[in-house]
Amino acid sequence: MNPATPEPLNAEVVVIGAGISGLTLAWRLQQGLSARGGSPQAVLLAEASSRVGGCISTQSKDGYRWEEGPNSFTPTPALLNLIAEVGLTDQLVLADAKLPRYIYWEGALLPVPLSPAAALGSRLLSVGGKLRALQGLLGFVPPPPGHEETVRQFFRRQLGSEVAERLVEPFTSGVYAGDPDQLSAVAAFPRVAGLEERYGSLFAGALQALRQRPQPSPAAIQPPPKRGQLGNLRQGLQQLPEALAQKLGDSLRLGWRALQLKRAGELYWVGFETPEGSRWVAARQVVLALPAYEAAALLQELNPPASQLLAEILYPPVAVVALAYPQEALPQPLRGFGHLIPRSQGLRTLGTIWASCLFPERAPQGYHSFLSFLGGATDAALARRRGIPPIPALSPEERAQIAHAELSQVLLTRRAEPVYLGERLWPRAIPQYTLGHRQRIAQVQAHLASQTPGIWVCANYLDGVALGDCVRRAEALAQQLLSQV
């Protein structure tokens, strides 16, 4: 492939990758350019696969519906506005904010305490653990000067080893499938870490943050969701990327895999392998809305320093197993968000979402469906210690057997055969915000600006893995690009 390939295309902006970041960015760019008389074709969004959405993937079978990737979202105003704009307001469903979360500890499911009173009465912590957490809340343990702490170090110093092991570690696995001994506290949990930095203690910071909480921006969907509620769409999260794809029309190209990125003067040339053969597209601005390792591959020749830094970002494997059981084999009534499992409990499941408790129409009458997550950043070490294969080396049937056996141990009240719905292995699942992550990203941005101005990155490895973070970043970058094209 070379720029002499027949019929090159021209665009103002080429966006590579049609996950939620790329779709939102392309849609906002198209809107902005159209508003000032520009052509919608000035934006080209290229996706290597035959579908949009990236890790968002909804599956349906025999009256069941489940998510293979993200299961829900925090309904931020920006995300709600996007849902309304693409005509999905009537499809929004919200989970009960009061649904309890559970931790599996010493053979029992124990509710996560969500208030000081609940924490005092919780069986999750010993009396000594509760007193140690109280000491940390008041800010008696100073931070080490000039030292970036891991997640475990930060919360152990703040709240003690019991909170770090029994609450923070499983929560870290639930959000990042990550290792609290490797993740950076300030990068992975910036709001919590920032409370101490600004106010001296978590307790004082939390109180001050409540007093100073800004009024939320008005959302297009009214009344606004209650604090703590999680959202989904009636037919699954896949509805949102598919609706955005419809809005983009011919600007979206499926089956276009970016293979090369070259520079010629003020233009960048992107070489694609398409269903119709090789194509080149010339543009002044190119956005890599891709996982870090794919962006690194495209930047290898043009910007080696940025490429090398991006290649350092790790993505552990995660398997999602969807199972269902008859109601009579489960606690009655079954009510909850799901459960998380600390690694010290010896199980391979990181956690399980009680999917049909969260959102309607996830399972037929008389059944409940569940999503179990296996693998993560600590699984390889666990497998080595036990002399067993890591999760990715197992067959889908073996992973399903593990999920069933551990759900039977943790949740079922009697023996029951599962309804096997499906299984998805993500070999590279969630980007890990390890120590030095913020500096690494700052260096990537600096190398792009100095060596390849006009090339941008927009993805969940930057500063937040949630869907709302992806929408926020994409909209901010769209505004920046619209000021330059």
Domain 58-98+315-426 adopts which CATH fold? Polyamine Oxidase; Chain A, domain 2 (3.90.660)
- The label of the residue with tokens 């699954």 reads 236
Q: Within a 10 A sphere around the Cβ of 73, how many other Cβ atoms?
A: 23
Question: What is 446-466 written as a DSSP string?
Answer: HHHHHHSTTEEE-STTTT--S
Report DSSP letters for 252-295, one per residue: EEET-EEEEEEEETTEEEEEEEETTEEEEEEEEEEEE-S-HHHH
> What would be the CATH architecture of the domain defined by 113-211?
Orthogonal Bundle (1.10)
In the sheet with 318-326, reading across from the earlier edge strand, the strands are: 108-111, 101-105, 338-340, 349-353, 367-375, 318-326, 419-426
460 vs 310: CA distance, rounded Å: 12
The pLDDT assigned to 120 comes to 83
Q: Report d(CA 399, CA 376) in Å as an integer.
A: 13
The Cα–Cα gap between 209 and 150 comes to: 23
pLDDT at residue 204 in the model: 60
The whole-angstrom separation of Cα 199 and Cα 427 is 40
- 10 Å CB burial of residue 146 (0-12, 13-18, 19+) is exposed
Amino acid at 45: L
As a 3-state breakdown, the chain gives helix, strand, coil percent values, each rounded to 5, of: 40, 20, 40
* Residues 148 and 184 sit within 8 Å (Cβ to Cβ): yes
Partner residues linked to 280 by β-bridges = 271
Helix axes 202-211, 127-137, angle to 10 degrees: 60
> Are the C-beta atoms of 481 and 89 separated by less than 8 Å?
no
- Tell me which residue of 427, 425, 380 sits closest to 398, measured CA to CA: 425
**Phi, psi angle pair for 52, to nearest 5°:** -100, 165
CA angle 18, 265, 42 (to 5 degrees): 35
Q: What is the pLDDT of residue 1?
A: 46
| Integer Cα distance of 419 and 322 in angstroms | 9
| CB proximity list for 161: less than 8 A, separation 6 or greater | 129, 132
Surface-to-core class of residue 56, CB atoms within 10 Å of its CB (0-12 exposed, 13-18 middle, 19+ buried):
buried
pLDDT of residue 470: 98
Q: Domain segments of the chain: what residues?
A: 9-55+238-313+433-482, 58-98+315-426, 113-211
- Per-residue b or e along 21-54, where b marks 16 or more CB atoms closer than 10 Å to that residue's CB: bbbbbbbbbbebbeeeebebebbbbbbbeeebbb
Rounded CA-CA distance 153/15 in Å is 39
What's the CA gap between 47 and 45, in Å, rounded? Answer: 7
Q: Does domain 9-55+238-313+433-482 have CATH number 3.50.50.60?
A: yes
Q: At 154, list the tokens.
A: 């930060």
Q: Which amino acid is at 56?
A: I
β-partners of residue 470 are none
pLDDT in tens, the chain (485 residues): 454 555 789 999 999 999 999 999 999 999 999 988 878 689 999 999 999 999 999 999 999 999 999 999 999 999 999 999 999 999 999 999 899 999 999 999 999 998 778 888 899 999 999 989 888 777 667 777 888 999 999 999 989 999 999 999 999 999 999 999 999 999 999 998 888 777 666 666 665 655 665 555 565 666 778 888 999 999 999 999 999 999 999 999 999 999 999 999 999 999 999 999 999 999 999 999 999 999 999 999 999 999 999 999 999 999 999 999 999 999 999 999 999 999 999 999 999 999 999 998 999 999 999 999 999 999 999 999 999 999 999 999 999 999 999 999 999 999 999 999 999 999 999 999 999 999 999 999 999 999 999 999 999 999 999 999 999 999 999 999 999 88
Per the CB < 8 A criterion, the answer to whether 325 and 420 are in contact is no
**Dist CA 350 CA 318 (whole Å):** 9
Give the CA distances from residue 395 to residues 110, 315, 430, in Å, rounded to whole numbers and listed in that order: 32, 20, 21
What's the Cα-to-Cα distance from 84 to each of 89, 92, 219, rounded to whole Å?
Answer: 5, 9, 9
CA angle 239, 241, 245 (to 5 degrees): 110
Q: What pLDDT shows up at residue 45?
A: 99
* Residues belonging to the chain: 485
**Both structure tokens of 215:** 């009024």
Upstream peptide bond of 333 is cis (omega within 30 degrees of 0): yes
Distance CA 406, CA 374 (A): 11
